[in-house]
Structure 1
Amino acid sequence: MSTVPMAGLRLRFFADPGEFLAAADDYLGADPVVCTVVTTVAHRLLSQRAEGISQPDRNWWLVVTDDSGAVVGAAMRSAPYAPYPPFLLPMPDHAAVALAHALHDREEEILAVNGALPAVEVCAAELTRLRGGRVQVAQHTRLHELGELAWPPPAPGGLVVATEDDLALVTQWFTAFVGDADEQAGRPRGSSAHEVPDHTDMLRRLHAGRLWFWVDETGQPVHLTGANPPSFGVARVGPVYTPPAQRGRGWASNAVAEVSRRIQAEGARACLFTDQANPTSNKIYAALGYRPVVDMANLAIVP
C-alpha cells in the first residue's frame, strides 16, 4: 500500500484487492449497486490470487478518505484491455482532481478514464490540464436496478444453463456482442473497449453456472444472457446477446426476466448497464422494471 496526502485527503493505493475490500468495506456496502463493477472485479481477482493467478503490476485499488478518516471515494485500475483505463466510483470533485494529480505524480500513462459522473469528467479534465490533450466521450452508460419485475409476453422455449460443451458458441457470441453493441449504438464496430473473456476466464464463468441460453421450442440456443455472482448482495446482468436473425421475437426480454427472477430468488438485488445510445435495450429493460440509478461514461484522452 502507498499513501498520498493531498489537501485534506488521503489517497491510499493498494496492490491487493483483499486489502482494498477490507479498507473500503463500509463504503462499498453502503451503496452496493453503484459499486457493483468495483466489488465484482475485486472479488473475482481476489479469488484468482487464491488460485495462484498473478495480476499485472499496473493494477491498483484506491480508497480516498477525508480528514476524519471517512471514506469519500474509491477507484481501481484493473482493466485487462488497453489502454487499461482507471474506473472511478462517485467522489467529490476535489477528490477527483487530487486523483488526477496523484496519477500524474506516479507517472502513469492514462489514455482513458471510465466510471461515475461527474467524477470521471473532473478527473479526465484535470489530467488533460496537467498533460495536454483533450477529452473525448467514447460511450455514455447508465446503471439500472430492478424494482418489481414486470413479466414480458411469453416466448416459446426456456432458459438453460450453458456448460463447458458450449464453450465455442458462448465465446463466439461474446465476441459478436462487443461488435454488435457498437453497431446498434451507431458507433464503428470495435470502437468501444469491452473485455472478451479469455479461454480460462470463460471456462470459469461456465463452471460457475452464470451463463444461460434461451432455447426455442426445438431446443436450439437463440439467445445468451449472463450474470455476475452476487457481490455485497448485488448481481449484475450481462452480457445480453441475441444473434441478428433471432431478434424481435422476445428471447432477450424473457431471458433477462427469468435470470433477474433467479437473482432476486437467491436474495440478491439485480442490476445491469445500458448504453445510452441504444434506445432499444433501454426500452426493453425499463419495461421489465429496471430503473436508472447512476450515469457513467467511458472517456478517452486524445492528443
Structure 2
Amino acid sequence: MRIDITTDAARLLNDTESFLRRDPLRHTVIATVLVNRINGRSGAMETQFLSVRDSAGVVVGIAQCTNGAVYLGELPAHSISAVADAFLAHGIVLRSVEGDNADAAAFAAHWSAVGGGTFCEKYSTRLFGLGELSTPEAVGAPRQAVVDDVALVIEMIEAFGVEADVSHRLDEAAVRKRIEAGTTWLWEHDATPVTLVARHAAVFGWARIGPVYTPPRFRGNGFASALTATVASRIRAEGADACLFTDLANPTSNKIYQRIGFEPVRDFVHYALTDQPIGT
C-alpha cells in the first residue's frame, strides 16, 4: 500500500478519475473540490488531496483535508489508520473528520490514540440524489445572481455558515467567480432576494446543490423548495443529475427535499477533534 498527498488538484484528478467514476455520487464532495480548485473557485482555502494505492499502483482510496477538516472518500478499511498518520506526518493540525460512519469513527479513534486528543460526534448528514422532480409554486420568481449581488451572496453564505457551524469561508474572488459561472441563484419576492441556492459544476454526471439559505424572517413561504427545484431542473436540462446534503438533525429540510423528489442515498458522520495531537 502506498499513500500520496498533493495539493495539485489537476494531477490528483487525472490520477484518480477512473476510481472516482466508479461511484461519482459517493465522491461528489471530493470531485467538486477538485474541479473548483482547478477552476479557481475555491478562494484562499488550501486543500491537501490524499490517494491510496495498492501494491500494483492502482488507486483504491481517496480523502482530502481543508484547513484541518478531513473528508474521507471510499477507503480500504485497513488503510484508515495509515491515512490519519499520513496527514499528521505532513504537520497538519487536524480539527475534524467526516465520512462513512465506520470509517470516520475509526479515523477519530486512531487520531485520539496516537496523540491523546478527544473526539465527539458533532453532526450527521444524509446524501440525497434526485429522483422524480416535483416543482412547487411560491410567490416570487428565480433569477441567477449577477456580479452586483456579490456582497449579498457573501452575507447569505456567511449567515448559512454561522447557522450550520461550518468553518470554511469563501472570499470575494471565489464568490465572484462562482456567480460569473452561473452557479448561484436567488429567489426574489417583491424585488427582494429572499433565498440563496448555490450549485456546483457537474462532475461525472452529478452536480451538487448547496448551500441553500433563507434568512429567518423569510422562512415558511416555500422559497427554498421552489428555488432548489428550479436549480435542480436546470441541472437536469444540462444532462446531469442533482444531489445535496442535509443535516439529519433538521427534519424540516429532510422532508422538504424529499417532497420535491430527492431520495436518500447514504449517511455520513462528522467528528470534532479536540486537543492538538502530540508531534503536530
The yes-or-no answer on 1:165 pairing with 2:137 is no
Compared CA separation, residues 162 and 107, structure 1 to 2 (3 A): closer
- The whole-number CA distance in structure 2 between the counterparts of 1:13 and 1:122 is 20
> In the alignment, is residue 231 of structure 1 matched against residue 215 of structure 2?
no
Whichever residue aligns with residue 244 of structure 1, its letter is: P
**8 A Cα contact 1:73 1:89, kept in partner:** yes
Q: Give TM-score scaled by structure 2 length.
A: 0.91
Matching of residues 1-303 of structure 1 within 5 Å: 9-48=1-40, 56=46, 59-77=47-65, 79=66, 81=67, 84-152=68-136, 154-181=137-164, 192-216=165-189, 218-303=190-275
Which is bigger in relative contact order (C-alpha 8 A, separation at least 6)?
2
Does the 8 A contact of 2:126 with 2:267 survive in 1? yes
Separation in structure 1 between the aligned mates of residue 166 and residue 69 of structure 2, nearest angstrom: 9
Does structure 2 conserve the Cα–Cα contact (< 8 Å) formed by 1:144 and 1:273?
A: yes
CA apart distance, 1:224: 1.1
Q: Offset of 1:21 from its aligned partner?
A: 0.7
| Distance apart, 1:180 and its partner CA | 2.9
Tell me if structure 2 keeps the 8 A contact 1:88–1:116: yes
Q: Is the 8 A contact 1:90 1:117 kept in 2?
A: no
**1:54-107 per-position Cα deviation (integer Å, ceiling 9, x unaligned):** 875xx4211112234432210112x2x5xx212110212211122123334444
Provide the C-alpha distance between the structure 2 equivalents of 1:55 and 1:194, rounded to a whole number of angstroms.
11
Listed as ranges, the gaps of 5+ residues in structure 1 are 1-8, 182-191
Q: Which runs of 5+ in 2 are unaligned?
A: 276-280
SS at match of 1:232: coil
Query: Does the 8 A contact of 1:48 with 1:54 survive in 2?
Result: no
CA distance in 1, matches of 2:192, 2:93: 46
In structure 2, the residue corresponding to 1:136 is in which secondary structure?
strand
Helix, strand or coil at the partner of 1:118: helix
The question of whether the paired residues in 1 share the 8 Å contact of 2:128 and 2:262 is answered with yes
**Cα pair 2:6 2:50 within 8 Å, conserved:** yes
Q: Give 2:278's aligned residue.
A: none
Normalised to the residue count of structure 1, the TM-score between the two structures is 0.84
Shifted more, 111-120 versus 129-138: the winner is 111-120
RMSD: 1.9
Number of aligned residue pairs: 274
- Could you tell me which residue of structure 2 aligns to residue 3 of structure 1? none
